[in-house]
A and B are shown apart, each in its own frame.
Chain A
Amino acid sequence: MIEMQNLSFGYGGGEALLADMTLSLQPGSFHFLTGPSGAGKTTFLRLCYADLLPSAGRMSTFGQDVRALSRDGIAGLRRRVGVVHQDPQFLDHMPVAENIALPLMISGQAVDMAALGDLLAWVQLSRHARAMPPELSGGERQRAALARAVIMAPDLILADEPTGNLDWDMSMRLLQLLIELNRSGKAVLIATHDLNLVRAAKQQVQARVLRIAGMKLQLAGADL
């Protein structure tokens, strides 16, 4: 799904933030990416959805070299990768339901209203379907972002500190949704510095823990 070989990255081609990383992300896998703030977790995720290009090394997503992707190729890749940010952005002039259906709309696909209703119910946002994004709380925004990330039935879900602004109960609810997605066959990669979240997940799912330390990517599952 995602293959990295001796991959390095530095902003503006300058000093490397990530170096010599090798990773193979398999379909249906569940990974956490941990590390201190500023270690490069967000940068790593941005590389995964081709928002950044590696400075050195090889990287392919779904069998395609990311450097060779055209802009339309990148758009196609992003339809196969659902991304949930710590501070998700929406189109504030469109209701929540339409924001969730946005990936379908921009790819010219018809929106199945029943399926959209089910999705809203799954993320417990049925009551907010007609609300505008600025009216949502932090947890509701995260769940709306998750619904938008999965509406195209992507193969991989990337979540960048999805529980960073949420209380514990809401964090658990969101984690539960991500675990459900993984059980339905999606690969999940969550960047977080919250080790309690990692422990809670490991009780329910076979998750591997990656850690960025000293610019390198390490497998840290045994330590937890």
Chain B
Amino acid sequence: MRKPELKSLDLATLWRGLTRPDAAGADRVVPPTGFTAQLTLFSAAAMAFLAVFAMALALATGRLAERWSSELTQTMTVRVQAPPDQIDRQVNAVMAALDTTPGIAEARVLPDEQVEKLLEPWFGPDLPIEALPIPRLIELVEADEGFDAEALRLRLQGEAPGAVLDDHTRWRQPLVSAANRLRILGLFSLLLIASASGAMITLAAKAALAANGQVIRVLRLVGARDITIATAFVRRFTRRAALGAAGGTVLGMLAIWALPSVDGAGGFLTGLGFRGWGWLLPVLIPVVAAAIGFVATRWAALRMLREVR
């Protein structure tokens, strides 16, 4: 038997059928399936809830990677450690060297109060800085064109042997790459969730179509077009996927909104959540879920209709 043609079920026609109001009540030809319906709604909601978190994770890690990358690339430190009688001379030598190094926008010696503040979390307040052999710290900001760190290191070695240039590369790179990987993981999770949703809706639609094989045969027998039958199923599953996903998205957004604020978390977290226009991004989730429901059910309907003449 030749493979039946189902040209009438092209995406555009199906979409038109789906958006047209069902005045004659043709959708009622599909029997209500309580359990499958609830299962589809629940699964779509759960997937959307997870998708909100995956989206928030991807956005937050993206921000984190960007911040670490940009902030830490442009600020560096020169640490000067020398006997007390030589320290001022070496600091002056470093400052002189930095002043004449192209690509350095700004260099300043951190005042004692600032050093004290940096050490406060470990040693507590009122630390007698002057009594401790604490190195002097010089903060430098790189200009846009950048500078040759290796050349500067060699120069400092010659002019101020106690000076060490720390460009933060050692610990910045792993952090930035970890944040980038987390972002990829978040995006991959979104992809996985979309695929799992597609598989789940396809299975549910296939089960519903298989259970309604007799209904489809009766409908074809009384002259129903493929588009009419497919629309009845596709409309139902698209609606369930969209409604379930909308519910899950709202719950997910509420959960994100209820997370502790950045300040409350101690300033370390960049905030797992959305900012500004970012709050509109989760609105895409029900739309994508509906699209997945549409495509998955259409595919299942095509396969089923091919078996019925």
Contacts and interface: CB of A to CB of B under 8 A. Distances in A.
User: Which size bracket describes the interface of B in this complex?
Assistant: 20 to 34
Nearest to A50: B309
B24 A109 contact: yes
A49 B220 CA distance: 11
B22 to A, nearest CB: 9
The CB with the most chain A CB atoms within 10 A, among B6, B31, B218, B225, is that of B225
A153 interface: no
A98 B28 CA distance: 10
Interface in A44-65: 49-52
Interface of B: 1, 4-8, 23-26, 28-29, 31-32, 214-215, 217-228, 309
Contacts, number: 84
The CB with the most chain A CB atoms within 10 A, among B6, B215, B222, is that of B222
Given A70-B7, A72-B8, A91-B31, A78 B24 contact: no
B221 A78 contact: yes
A134 interface: no
16 contacts: A70-B5, A71-B6, A71-B226, A77-B223, A78-B223, A89-B217, A91-B31, A91-B218, A98-B28, A102-B29, A105-B25, A105-B28, A106-B24, A106-B222, A111-B24, A152-B223
Interface string A107-146: 1111100000000000000000000000000000000000
A110 B31 contact: no
B226 A103 contact: no
Contacts of B228: 106-108
Contacts of A41: none
B223 A103 contact: yes
A122 B240 CA distance: 41
Given A51-B309, A102-B29, A106-B224, A71 B8 contact: yes
A94 B8 contact: no
A186 interface: no
B92 to A, nearest CB: 90
The CB with the most chain A CB atoms within 10 A, among B1, B26, B223, is that of B223
A79 interface: yes
Contacts of B26: 105-106, 108
Contacts of B23: 108, 110
A139 to B, nearest CB: 20
Nearest to A107: B223
Interface string A65-107: 0000011101111110001000001111110001000111111
A94 B223 contact: no
Nearest to A110: B24
Nearest to B2: A53
Contacts of A12: 1
A106 B32 CA distance: 17
